[in-house]
Structure 1
Amino acid sequence: MTLESTYVLGFLLPVSLLAAVMVLIFLKLKSRDQIRSRQRIKRLGEQLSLAQYQIKYRHKGLDRYNLLRYNLNDSLCIQSEIDLF
């Protein structure tokens, strides 16, 4: 082996190892991010499902409410005492 090929090999080996380590780190971070994204999407889906249930529950209550019989202002007030959980 000539002196130049030794220098090239001495340069390429550490660069190749560094590139391989960087690729492994990238793949690990990508995998972790995908897992976190799936978990977040699942949580958001559960929250959306609960919100849709609450909307249906409140619409059902409004449908049963006789607006002509009761005061309209009373029917539109915020009902913080409703506990769905």
Structure 2
Amino acid sequence: MSRQPSRRALLRAERRGLSRMTPFQREVFLALRVETVTYADLARLHGVGVGEIEAAFTQALLILMRLVREGEPWWRRLWPW
């Protein structure tokens, strides 16, 4: 049986994930998920194709998924903050 990560653990993984993304991946991810900009608008803004935006967004999601799947290191349980 797998345990679901806590909200705090997910937020830490999100912060780590954002720091591991390239600036372009981070900008694409935040624009699509927070600002709800369309793929086409974002592609036009950056002067690239929609496929490049899709690829950057996919890579950003993969970074976040890996961090959430990894779970927290054992020593994190010793420090609750």
Question: TM-score scaled by structure 1?
Answer: 0.30
TM-score between the two structures when normalised by the length of structure 2: 0.31
Compare CA radii of gyration and give the structure with the larger one.
Answer: 1
| Structure with the larger RCO, 1 or 2 (CA within 8 Å, 6+ apart) | 2
